[in-house]
Amino acid sequence: MHTVTLARLIATTAARLAAVLAVPLALAGCIGGQDHAEIRAEALQRGGGAEPFLVREAEAAVAARLSAEPGTLVLASISIAPDHLALVAADPRIPGNWDRYRYASGRLGEPMPVRARPGAPSGFRLGEFRALDRLPTLVADARARIGFAEGQLGTVEIKPAVNAKADEGRRPGPRLWVRITDPRRGTAAQQYDAEGRPL
Amino acid sequence: MKRPAPSDRASWTAIAAMAAAASMVAAVFLVLILWVVWPGAMAHAAPLACPAGFPDPFVLEEVYSLPGETRWTWSLVCMSAHGAIFRPGSTIPWALGVAILWLPCMVIALAVVHARMKR
């Protein structure tokens, strides 16, 4: 059989096969895709990405970038969103230098310099936030305590107490902030101490 | 047992190579059709594409509108139990789709060629 004829035959067969298989697929309808807003709403409903393992993973990735041991980094804040984590960490090689890192889908972004404000609270180490393993429970608890009927999870952040003076005498260590936004009532925040006790 | 003549072997190698190439093209087109008609099929690649801790697959549909052009893209999104999102990209779902459809396409193409040659 001539090679060109064979090639034509195989191409025709492949085209027919594709056409035949396309019919049941077309009958199945255009299904399965969701837009960004729907997926984000689902993620916020589930807890906004507050996964302890992910926080540890992000801290370890930043530590590896800075040639430091995981758990030894001094952090100014950890912001948690469904699709990424943002960490502000001190550079152990250059005292006083803080950088913001974005960790998303297992990849660590390039550092962005952060201007240190005078009088800003000192940083914390991840291990000081001892309630890390209870993070999802605390986010759910904050939602229940705030009690907005149409509330949507806003920011979830671990950072030192904003006003150290006002916090004097209260429990030391980093805080967890959970903000819930309601289209009718605005934004409310619930704070937890390093042990996961509500403040 | 009679060994096939060199010319027969050469032609069968050529047939197999062409069937492989044509069925690969068919598989790529089928995956394209599949994604346009049923983007949710991409979620079946989740066991391979989603890392541990992100078990729930979603297919993100994005529409970009530019003057004179509208573009749709679909990508796999993996979600954890507490709403963390991991975007593994499209390479693994693509490769998996083509790999799954390539073999049946090739078998059918070769069977048809074989049947025609017997006539």
Each residue's pLDDT, cut to its tens digit, for chain A (199 residues) gives 566 776 777 677 667 766 666 665 555 444 567 888 899 999 998 988 889 999 999 999 999 998 888 888 889 899 999 999 999 998 888 888 899 999 999 899 999 998 877 766 678 888 888 888 999 999 889 888 888 878 888 889 998 876 655 555 566 678 999 998 888 888 888 899 888 888 8
Query: In Å, what is the CA distance from B108 to each residue of A12, A17, B33, B48, B114?
Result: 12, 8, 19, 27, 10
What chain B residue is nearest to A49 in terms of C-alpha separation? B84
Answer whether A54 touches B (CB < 8 Å).
yes
- Cβ-proximal residues to B9 (8 Å cutoff; 6+ apart), any chain: none
Tell how strand A152-159 and strand A33-34 pair up: unpaired
ipTM of the complex: 0.77
Among B18, B34, B61, beta carbon nearest to A25:
B34
CB contact (8 A) between residue A13 and residue B113: yes
What chain B residue is nearest to A13 in terms of C-alpha separation? B109
Task: For residues A143 and A162, give the distance between their C-alpha atoms in angstroms, rounded to a whole number.
Answer: 21
CB contact (8 A) between residue A13 and residue B109: yes
Q: What is the pLDDT of residue A29?
A: 43
Q: How far is the first Cα of chain B from the last one, in angstroms, to the nearest whole number?
A: 23
Q: What is the pLDDT of residue A80?
A: 93
- Cβ-proximal residues to A98 (8 Å cutoff; 6+ apart), any chain: A76, A88, A89, A90, A91, A113, A114, A116
Q: What is the pLDDT of residue A24?
A: 58
Please list every residue in chain B whose beta carbon sits closer than 8 Å to the beta carbon of residue A83.
84-85, 87
Please list every residue in chain B whose beta carbon sits closer than 8 Å to the beta carbon of residue A44.
83
Among B26, B63, B80, beta carbon nearest to A17:
B26
Q: Give the B window 45-74 contacts with A, CB below 8 Å.
A: 51, 53, 58-63, 74
Beta-bridge partner residues of A181: A152, A187
